[in-house]
Amino acid sequence: MKKLSLVICVYNEEPNILPLAVQIKSALAGIDFEAIYVDDGSTDNTRAEILKINDPRFLLVELKRNYGQSSALQAGIDQAEGEFVALIDGDLQNDPLDIPKMLKMMEEEEWDMVAGVRANRKDGMFLRKVPSKIANYMIRKSTGMKMKDLGCTLKIFTRETIKSIHIYGELHRYIPALVALEGATRLTQVDVNHRPREFGSSKYNLGRTTRVMSDLILMVFFKKYLQRPMHFFGSIGIVTLILGVLINLYFLVEKILGHNIWGKPLLLLGILLVMGGIQFITIGIIAELQMRTYFESQNKKPYRVKRVVDTKNKQVILSR
């Protein structure tokens, strides 16, 4: 087994491929590593540049089309065979020289994840830095994660930690939260070097804001209600149903007393609340069934065991 697997997602990064490969070889001299370039459907000569590296330690995973960073990362992680797995951008803004010190922290201090923090970020203020700071603040407050820079790709994980999750949609921003949901508790961060982009153009823009917000709502739901969706949908459904029933009872009394109730907006609201309440409760039941299927069909456990200790001999029988 290799000591380290490097996963590098690239999309139209032709001029950055060979310089990054040279830097990786220099920075990781003496470390048994593999570097997995994932070409996410590039339309330039990115693939040809990767093949020019001509080093058995460098692998090319070529996707059939552009799937996005999350799917590309997952493709690379699936191929990774190292004891530790590092994620790094392919645009030369992350510095491979930071990887050995992060790897040393992983080994000596037994972290599940060491994440980079771009201490002196070399990006535009209003289009990149300000939106990123706002997004990081909202994510920290919503998920309880204490990470300063969730947008920094440079991270190192133990093999078990990163293989325990699956990255769908655009959840690559929330990898620390995902591994925490799977039981990883030893997560830390360290300042890393960040360099200005020299070649090519950034693939990020403000149009991603709505997708970040949508994914944030999903992550909050995962964190609080993944194993008990009925508590979320059922609570909303019961409150909605009770309000609707009370409104309808009021109009029933009005009707019995001979008052004309037809066409009143409050009556229509009462009917909608009853129907909505029933739907929320139904969704909760379906979601509960899906969660049971998710855990039982894959023999997953709703918990993670850290260690089992023989209390008589004070020996660790099982350690994760």
Full 3-state SS string of 175-242: HHHHHHHCCCCCEEEEEECECCCCCCCCCCCHHHHHHHHHHHHHHHHHHHHCCCHHHHHHHHHHHHHH
Q: Higher-confidence residue: 255 or 119?
A: 255
Q: What does the pLDDT read at residue 150?
A: 73
**307 in helix, strand or coil?**
strand
What value does the mean pLDDT take over residues 275-279?
96
Q: Is 80 exceeded by the pLDDT of residue 61? A: yes
Q: What does the pLDDT read at residue 221?
A: 81
Q: How far apart are CA 91 and CA 202, in angstroms?
A: 9
Position 77 confidence tier, pLDDT thresholds 50, 70, 90: very high
Position 143 confidence tier, pLDDT thresholds 50, 70, 90: low
Q: What does the pLDDT read at residue 78?
A: 93
What value does the mean pLDDT take over residues 251-269?
88
High-pLDDT (> 70) share of the chain, %: 86
Q: What does the pLDDT read at residue 54?
A: 87
Q: How far apart are CA 57 and CA 205, in angstroms?
A: 34
Element of type H or E holding 103: helix 98-109
Q: What does the pLDDT read at residue 309?
A: 84
The mean-pLDDT minimum among 84-88, 248-252, 288-292, 315-319 falls in 315-319
Q: Is 60 exceeded by the pLDDT of residue 205? A: no
Q: Higher-confidence residue: 128 or 292?
A: 292
Q: How far apart are CA 181 and CA 175, in angstroms?
A: 10
Six-digit token pair at 83? 């004891």
pTM of the entire predicted model:
0.75
Q: What does the pLDDT read at residue 132?
A: 64
